[in-house]
């Protein structure tokens, strides 16, 4: 019939990934002269878009063109981890460690891969190597002592009197009164975490349900996690400044307590350890500072 005839005209070629790469090459001026740079650029973009299988192909081309590039191996390792290929992750991390045996990112990815493989002995062993390189990294310390069912020794916690300060942070902040206006105002109820407006982001987080706040979110990319970390920093800093100015701890609403519960909800997410291994280093440091702050109070 007509339907059958129409289906017979369809291509039997199922290689959609290859077709898409061909499309990108035609549209975005691929040439043999800029092959490595082209593949790396689009591999990075595909990774950010959570198109991990295509990103793996592009990073593989990078490795074929320049076999000694640690960057491509480790980015491909991150992709393999996201598509649940722990052994391939380990293999790529080992290639990176050949160039630099103290590469923290390679070791941490390798540890995450062993955790995914349920090899708890090697997971703990590699985490211990990570701690040797970064002895006060609160994320790694938390993972290491959690797998040992122990508390982090107090002397290993990095406690600061004012743990959340930097030039960029001071340029990007809200006051306690501004947060209160957002919390009590319904104007922002239709806001989104994907918004670039800090007030929209704060409003969205403030109006989340108390339990299972993030269960419906897609954390396959790191952007949402980085936003949550940054907004937590803004809220905590706002309350700290308010308390300092007014010499009082009596507040109508505690953003410090609120952010603690938000971070607890974030920690409940499946594969959150993998997602955290992918976040930008600046946000990793910021999260480290937040954890240190909560350890000190």
Task: Look at residue 164 in the predicted model and tell me its pLDDT.
Answer: 40
Task: Look at residue 122 in the predicted model and tell me its pLDDT.
Answer: 97
**For 192, what's the count of Cα atoms within 13 Å in the CB-facing half-sphere?**
5
Nearest to 124 by CA among 109, 144, 105: 144
Query: What are the residue ranges in the chain where pLDDT is below 70?
Result: 1-20, 23, 26-28, 157-171, 186-195, 210-213, 215-222, 270-271, 273-274, 277-278
Per-residue pLDDT of 238-270, as tens digits, reads 999 998 888 777 788 999 999 988 888 887 776
Task: Look at residue 111 in the predicted model and tell me its pLDDT.
Answer: 95
**86-157 CATH:** 1.25.40.10
Per-residue pLDDT of 117-154, as tens digits, reads 999 999 999 999 999 998 878 778 888 988 898 887 87
**Domain-by-domain residue ranges, the chain?**
10-67, 86-157, 167-296
Distance CA 82, CA 154 (A): 33
């Amino acid at each position: 019939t007509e339907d059958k005839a129409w289906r017979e005209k369809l291509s039997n070629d199922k290689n959609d990934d290859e077709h898409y790469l061909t499309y990108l090459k035609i549209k975005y001026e691929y040439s043999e002269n800029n092959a490595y740079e082209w593949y790396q650029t689009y591999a990075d973009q595909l990774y950010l878009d959570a198109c991990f299988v295509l990103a793996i192909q592009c990073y593989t081309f990078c490795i074929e063109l320049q076999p000694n590039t640690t960057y491509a191996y480790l980015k491909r390792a991150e992709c393999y981890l996201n598509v649940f290929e722990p052994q391939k992750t380990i293999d790529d991390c080992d290639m990176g460690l050949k160039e630099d045996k103290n590469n923290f990112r390679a070791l941490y990815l390798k540890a995450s891969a062993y955790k995914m493989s349920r090899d708890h002995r090697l997971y703990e062993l590699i985490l211990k190597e990570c701690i040797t390189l970064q002895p006060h990294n609160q994320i790694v310390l938390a993972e290491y002592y959690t797998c040992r069912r122990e508390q982090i020794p107090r002397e290993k916690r990095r406690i600061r009197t004012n743990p959340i300060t930097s030039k960029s942070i001071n340029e990007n902040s809200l006051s306690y009164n501004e947060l209160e206006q957002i919390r009590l105002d319904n104007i922002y109820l239709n806001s989104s975490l994907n918004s670039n407006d800090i007030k929209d982001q704060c409003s969205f987080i403030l109006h989340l349900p108390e339990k299972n706040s993030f269960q419906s979110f897609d954390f396959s990319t790191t952007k949402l996690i980085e936003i949550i970390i940054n907004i937590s920093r803004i809220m905590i800093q706002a309350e700290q400044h308010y308390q300092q100015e007014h010499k009082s701890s009596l507040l109508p609403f505690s953003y410090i307590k609120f952010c603690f519960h938000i971070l607890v909800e974030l920690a409940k997410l499946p594969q959150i350890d993998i997602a955290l291994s992918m976040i930008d280093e600046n946000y990793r440091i910021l999260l480290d500072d937040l954890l240190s702050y909560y350890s000190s109070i």
